[in-house]
Amino acid sequence: MLEVHDLRLGFTAGPQTLLAVDGISFAISRGETFALLGESGCGKSATAQGLMRLLPAAGRLVGGSIRLDGEELLALSEAQMRAYRGGRMAMIFQEPATSLNPVLTVGRQIAEVLQQHQALSGPAASARMVDLLRQVGIADPERRLDEYPFQLSGGMKQRVMIAIALAGEPDLLIADEPTTALDVTVQAQILDLLAQLQVDRGMGMLLITHDLGVVARMAQRIGVMYAGELVEVASREDFFAQPRHPYTQALFAALPDVARRGMALATIPGQVPALAAMPAGCRFAERCPQVMAVCRAEAPAWREVTAGHVVRCHWQGAAAMPMQTGDADETESAVKPPYLAVDGLKVHFPIRQGFWQRTVGHVRAVDGVSLRISPGRTLALVGESGCGKTTVGKAVLQLIKPTAGQVRLAGQPLEALQGAALRKARRPLQMIFQDPFASLNPRLRIGEIILEGMRVDARGKGNETAAALTRLLVQVGLPADTVDRYPHEFSGGQRQRIAIARALAVQPALLICDEPTSALDVSVQAQILNLLKQLQADLGVAYLFITHNFAVVDYLAHDIAVMYLGRIVEQGRADEVLSRPAHPYTQALLSAVPAPRLALARQRIRLPGETPSPARPPSGCHFHPRCPQASERCRQDYPSGTARSATHTVNCHFPL
């Protein structure tokens, strides 16, 4: 259905055009998923934008061919291309916060696609919009249609983007990190939906992702991209059984795993070469452990390993890339008194209606959360999108004023402080926000963004500050010339690294990490996790780690708290919760995690229904409408905490 041949595109820089995609070729059949893997900055998103002819002003299609059912897309006028975009082919963009129109309601944005490509309007369009939002797992869809993007969580915005893309019933779906901001259960639901649509409609899909678990579950064929070129293409079975390119092997070696707990993850030294400094030979040569003289002298040609499995590499060995590991942490230090203590935290947002904006109800985003974090320990807060995880983080920082409850930092209550006293008391706290593009000032250069916190905190001056800035950039895997560029000049993963560098700049005692590695590919994720682990070992930094990535939780967390609809339903030490989950919801979450290897696939527990709206939580146990073990007692009474051990508690009448 889709044939891409020798596609070359780049960006103008003065008189020259720097190629970001340099001669890639692939094809996608109807009903097939082709996954494109690679590090941030390798040209994956540029490829997707080129296929849709949505390049920015500086972008240039230099050459090649893009055919959809035999029609040459590069020969179409812009007016003709509009009939294809959103209809014949649609795209789920990487950053929903910047792709959704902030001044239009969710319903208005979906209606635009339905009217343009399906000729639907009025009640028929409204019914279809509600159905689309329900399909992608958004609770209370009728109310959400009248809301604006800023009123939705990051995961909900991503789901709205998917609903918009599916509204036109496309033949080809280009999905650029479609499940990055989603929790594992909704991710599984979305992947099931996309797979079902492929079966029903024969829809082809170009899947751009850094999640090898998603690739193992969805893709029939995989292409690995590096520095603007494809370096390996294989079927799913061949790819996971025996990856051949050293770069592909390095991506597998960088995966976090409980078996590597206490050890440094494998990382790939150096960085993807800049567009203006592409090497003449193999583009991976400077980072490759198998490099030979011929690699630097001439670019490798394609070589077929087995039928359908091709690799662009001079080296013909098959051994896995050696892992760079540290010493295992055999013993865990004794738990110290809590540095952060949260008791009965509640955050309720009023629902206002009518001309006088009277309060007619409340959204119970956080409804009685209690947490403890000791110095040098990591508490992972996990749960579905919209359950209140991010709101907990912001309420701890007092960026959102709690409705009730107490937050104590080193024994000092924060909720009663205001102004200068509050700013001084929470100085040891920093937060890495979920959306790096929205949290970075677009008018400041990167150096100014990172130095801002140092200057406010009066940490060093002159040469000392400049040296610290350079060290930070190196730590998070960015080149030194980054300081003079603006946020819009970076990829999504690179912007996330900048946000992490800014948070670390003031040497915090407690770091609230809101999905800090969700936008990062596995190699950079390994680098960041190693950095966070090293900082914790050296400085005793504590982390509240908000995430839906259970591989990261497995590797990094000491303790886990599982959250559902504003409340903690299970918490305990990481090994207890992960190996012996007692709450049915925790079990369902763990079963939905996509395994990054074909042999590790597990039986998934499918939860019926949808996550209820926090504006109308169910009576009794909030989980009872979706729980296979629910009884009349569950419908009447909310369960109190049951101790499974001295450190493991579960809020369930019938813990499994």
Query: In the prediction, which pLDDT does 550 show?
Result: 82
Q: Is the pLDDT of residue 446 over 70?
A: yes
- In the chain, pLDDT over 90 holds for what percent of residues? 51
Model confidence at 107, in pLDDT bands (50, 70, 90)? very high
Query: Lowest-confidence range among 79-83, 261-265, 303-307, 471-475?
Result: 261-265
Q: Decide: 207 and 43 in contact? Cβ < 8 Å.
A: no
DSSP state of 52: H
Beta strands of 73-169 (E only): which ranges?
A: 89-92
Q: Is the pLDDT of residue 333 over 70?
A: no
Q: Is the pLDDT of residue 326 over 50?
A: no
Query: In the prediction, which pLDDT does 518 show?
Result: 72
Query: In the prediction, which pLDDT does 275 show?
Result: 87
Q: Is the pLDDT of residue 625 over 80?
A: yes
More confident residue, 66 or 266: 66
Query: In the prediction, which pLDDT does 325 show?
Result: 44
Beta strands of 288-413 (E only): which ranges?
A: 302-306, 309-312, 340-353, 358-373, 378-383, 404-409, 412-413
Q: What is the pTM of this model?
A: 0.76
Q: Closest by alpha carbon to 250, among 308, 299, 292, 313?
A: 313
Query: In the prediction, which pLDDT does 601 show?
Result: 58
More confident residue, 329 or 40: 40
Q: Closest by alpha carbon to 434, among 496, 488, 372, 482?
A: 496
Query: In the prediction, which pLDDT does 592 show?
Result: 82
Model confidence at 600, in pLDDT bands (50, 70, 90)? low
Q: Is the pLDDT of residue 179 over 90?
A: no
Query: In the prediction, which pLDDT does 329 show?
Result: 45
- In the chain, pLDDT over 70 holds for what percent of residues? 93
554, two tokens: 């497995």
Model confidence at 599, in pLDDT bands (50, 70, 90)? low
Query: In the prediction, which pLDDT does 461 show?
Result: 57
Q: Is the pLDDT of residue 591 over 60?
A: yes
Q: Closest by alpha carbon to 440, among 507, 388, 395, 486?
A: 486
Query: Rg of the Cα trace of the chain?
Result: 25
135, two tokens: 């399909």
Model confidence at 364, in pLDDT bands (50, 70, 90)? very high
Query: In the prediction, which pLDDT does 209 show?
Result: 86
Model confidence at 537, in pLDDT bands (50, 70, 90)? confident
Angstrom distances, CA of residue 395 to CA of 345, 365, 368, 428, 509: 8, 11, 12, 15, 17
In order of their start, the domains of the chain are 2-219 (3.40.50.300)
DSSP state of 262: T
Q: What is the mean pLDDT of residues 601-616?
A: 77
Model confidence at 582, in pLDDT bands (50, 70, 90)? very high
Angstrom distances, CA of residue 116 to CA of 164, 444, 616: 12, 38, 35
Q: For residue 84, what is the enclosing H or E element?
A: helix 78-84
- What mean pLDDT, rounded, does the chain reach? 87
Q: What is the mean pLDDT of residues 569-591?
A: 92
